[in-house]
Amino acid sequence: MSDDFKNDHENNGNDIIGTNDKSSLNLSQNVAGLLCYLGTIVTGIIFLIIEKENKFVRFHAMQSICFFVVIWIGTFVFGFIPILGWLISALLTLAGFVGWIVLMFKAYNNQYYKVPLIGDYAEDFLNKM
Q: Which tens digit of pLDDT belongs to each residue from 6-65? A: 444 554 556 656 555 888 888 999 999 999 999 999 999 999 999 999 999 999 999 999
CA 33 to the chain's CA centroid? 9
- Bridge partners of residue 111, in order along the sequence: 16
CA 109 to the chain's CA centroid? 14
Q: Which residues contact 65 (CB under 8 A, 6 or more apart)?
A: 41, 44, 45, 48, 122
Q: Which residues contact 124 (CB under 8 A, 6 or more apart)?
A: none
Where in the chain are the domains?
Answer: 21-128
Q: Which run of H or of E encompasses 1?
A: none
Please state the pTM of the whole predicted model: 0.82
